[in-house]
A and B are shown apart, each in its own frame.
Chain A
């Protein structure tokens, strides 16, 4: 029997969309009072009345919008100005390499690190203590502030590197050098020329990742729990808090809050789109005006991103330092001694949690790569008959706030009586791992010279041998990169683990967040370090293994 050409593509998109759509239904129905599993049938506005009665709801909305839109705007601004100011430096071309550690670090580890850096008793305060004369932590809300500015900055630390990576990928597909040469010969200074002629093209290509950043920032729970204020918290935290409440009736307002977050995200995306349209109009006017002023300003603004990157690296350093810290009194910049006592004390728990984390991450990533390879291969072989346009739908989960539909996934699992299965956790992770794996693999797959496969076929190799002996080895580098990205995404999942596992599947991430409120910095440092170390090791492997394997193959080293 011949399988239809579109089957692998359908399989991939189904694996992502099925739980997502079920999750949306599972969020929307209880939001309007319908949840047979809890004995509630029919419709009611009760959940919404309870939600609206929540004190500080408007503050929660404001917090979410300020931190979400702010983090996205800050990241984009920093990336654009950085590219404009430094696009011609050699360091710029190697950016991908030094971005890797920041991309690999899960949000939670970054958040814990930023806490250790910026909290009143954090490293920055200690650094300033001698000159400002602190002998105790200053009484300032440097994190968990009531405007959500720490949350905004913390999100930007993680999102700006990712946006830079996407911009670099977009730049590789653009005739940027020729455009720049033309604009500069027409009298524009380099930074201004970049903003005028290259940035609009880059922006068009990074719109999807940008909306992913916006949706993530609006819906991020782990960052909001760590860096946002507690009462009222940002909107994304409400459904989680109520879901974890012992009173099952709180499920209904929780669903309403998740629905509100979904709506808010759509509104925010529409708002951004409108603002971008206006900015585009103004920008075209500026580009056509021939004005050349502002180079110095752009160059100064270009330092914004390096500052963010330094803060991010400092955060990573801070968790590592705390994990090794012995006694460490406040104004001291360095612990009195470094030891492995905390690691030793936590050893057994850490091993078990790391095992549980990898037990999900490895199969989820392997499954995602297999599905992505099958789908991309189907598209390469059958073209339009394989429905390649369908693949785009698998990016949808990145454009919705996680709380919005993961909450419903839990409701649906509850309804089906499957709420404590490992399979549910695995599938929920797959929903987020797959889009990233596809994102990494799609472009290199399409860029592979089709004549190589044709040559192999003419030499007598069947389709399977062409895939196995020619395409996969040649694509080893992106395949490993996709694997590393997949593992990083899975290791970082908090909500997917929490909701799909019914709160009973513990990984490094869920456990670290459960401990965060208790706040032993050393223990948190150990958790965050290990949580960051796993994906980091995978990234390093993905970088080094092809170099070693292809050490005698110059044709692949250059790629």
Chain B
């Protein structure tokens, strides 16, 4: 990212920001609520609130991101809530981001493999509302990974989980990201998250 600035009615939310994240690296962004952390991720995704304006450049693998529509940026994002689509089954949610054009058997195989990886084999037909908090969080991550993102954005995804679950799910997410060699941008206000991530930490709006 080079010289990125977000403005709300002309007022800059934070000083112009430049940063690099290497493949497999986790960069943690910290800062008080309202400092524009989440909006920065929304800007990267191309889904910035229309009330805000963004400037600057962001590129991934050498290609400019900002010119692409959101659906072609291939960024994975996880929010504090799992945001599973309530009208689709677990399998339907996982299949949502799979490339179109895959043969049906291949789609089903990938969904089954993802469920096995999340230690939830045979859950494809289940209603997302019937899952536990930890299971929903894992499905949300697998849904993102099945879309084959080129980078992972984490918008306080551990905030809603209770303490015991949080550590385990954090490990689960970070392990998967590093195993795939994804650059990760983690937004949080929990110092423990930053510590577990092990990468550089940047304080925004401080």
Stretch of B17-25, B79-87, B108-116, B185-193 on the interface side: B79-87
Q: Which residues of chain B from 62 to 82 have a CB within 8 Å of any chain A CB?
A: 69-77, 79, 81
**Interface bits A431-475 vs B (CB < 8 Å: 1, else 0):** 000000000000000000111111111111111010001100110
Q: A340 — which chain B residues lie within 8 A by C-beta? A: none
A454-B70, A470-B85 given; A383·B75 CB < 8 A: no
CA distance in complex: A473, B85 (Å): 10
**Interface bits B123-145 vs A (CB < 8 Å: 1, else 0):** 00001111000000000000110
CA distance in complex: A453, B83 (Å): 10
CA distance in complex: A451, B160 (Å): 16
Stretch of B29-37, B47-55, B172-180, B195-203 on the interface side: B47-55
Of chain A, the residue at the smallest CB distance from B51 is A383
Q: State whether the Cβ of B13 lies closer than 8 Å to any Cβ in chain A.
A: no
Stretch of A220-228, A393-401, A550-558 on the interface side: A550-558
A456-B96, A458-B45 given; A555·B77 CB < 8 A: no
Of chain B, the residue at the smallest CB distance from A381 is B50
Q: Which residues of chain A from 362 to 400 have a CB within 8 Å of any chain B CB?
A: 381-385
A469-B96, A553-B129, A555-B127 given; A455·B83 CB < 8 A: yes
Contact A474–B87 (Cβ < 8 Å):
yes
Which of B46, B71, B129, B130 interacts with A461 by CB under 8 Å?
A: B71
CA distance in complex: A123, B206 (Å): 76
CA distance in complex: A233, B128 (Å): 61
A383-B50, A453-B47, A457-B47 given; A550·B87 CB < 8 A: yes
Q: B4 — which chain A residues lie within 8 A by C-beta? A: none
User: What's the least CB distance linking B186 to chain A, in Å?
Assistant: 16
Contact B96–A457 (Cβ < 8 Å):
no
Of chain B, the residue at the smallest CB distance from A457 is B70
Contact A555–B42 (Cβ < 8 Å):
no
Contact B129–A457 (Cβ < 8 Å):
no
Q: State whether the Cβ of B159 lies closer than 8 Å to any Cβ in chain A.
A: no
CA distance in complex: A476, B51 (Å): 28
Bin the interface of chain B by size: 35 or more
Of chain B, the residue at the smallest CB distance from A453 is B47
Main secondary structure of the interface of A (DSSP, over half): helix
Of chain B, the residue at the smallest CB distance from A379 is B50
A454-B70, A554-B130, A555-B86 given; A384·B96 CB < 8 A: no
Of chain B, the residue at the smallest CB distance from A465 is B71
Contact B143–A451 (Cβ < 8 Å):
no
Contact A459–B128 (Cβ < 8 Å):
no
A384-B51, A451-B79, A454-B42 given; A460·B97 CB < 8 A: yes
Q: State whether the Cβ of B147 lies closer than 8 Å to any Cβ in chain A.
A: yes
Bin the interface of chain A by size: 20 to 34
User: What's the least CB distance linking A425 to chain B, in Å?
Assistant: 36
CA distance in complex: A85, B74 (Å): 56
Q: A453 — which chain B residues lie within 8 A by C-beta? A: 47
Contact A458–B50 (Cβ < 8 Å):
no
User: What's the least CB distance linking A108 to chain B, in Å?
Assistant: 38
Of chain B, the residue at the smallest CB distance from A472 is B87
Of chain B, the residue at the smallest CB distance from A555 is B86
A460-B97, A461-B96, A555-B127 given; A454·B47 CB < 8 A: yes
CA distance in complex: A458, B96 (Å): 11
A454-B77, A554-B130 given; A460·B147 CB < 8 A: yes
Contact A385–B50 (Cβ < 8 Å):
yes
Contact A451–B87 (Cβ < 8 Å):
no
User: What's the least CB distance linking B198 to chain A, in Å?
Assistant: 25
Contact B83–A459 (Cβ < 8 Å):
no
Q: B143 — which chain A residues lie within 8 A by C-beta? A: 459
A469-B96, A554-B129 given; A474·B86 CB < 8 A: yes
Q: B97 — which chain A residues lie within 8 A by C-beta? A: 459-461
User: What's the least CB distance linking B99 to chain A, in Å?
Assistant: 8
CA distance in complex: A453, B48 (Å): 12
CA distance in complex: A460, B45 (Å): 11
Contact B87–A473 (Cβ < 8 Å):
yes
A452-B85, A459-B71, A461-B97 are known contacts; what are 17 more A-B pairs with Cβ within 8 Å? A383-B51, A451-B81, A451-B83, A453-B47, A454-B45, A456-B96, A457-B45, A457-B70, A458-B71, A458-B75, A459-B76, A459-B143, A460-B97, A469-B96, A474-B85, A554-B130, A555-B128
Interface residues of B (CB under 8 A from A): 42, 45-47, 49-51, 69-77, 79, 81, 83-87, 89, 96-97, 99, 127-130, 143-144, 147, 149, 153
Supply 30 A–B pairs (Cβ within 8 Å), ascending by A: A381-B50, A452-B83, A454-B45, A454-B47, A454-B77, A455-B77, A455-B83, A456-B85, A457-B46, A457-B47, A457-B71, A458-B47, A458-B70, A458-B75, A458-B144, A459-B97, A459-B143, A460-B99, A460-B147, A461-B71, A463-B71, A476-B87, A550-B87, A553-B86, A554-B127, A554-B130, A555-B87, A555-B128, A556-B86, A558-B129
Interface residues of A (CB under 8 A from B): 381-385, 449-463, 465, 469-470, 473-474, 476, 550, 552-556, 558
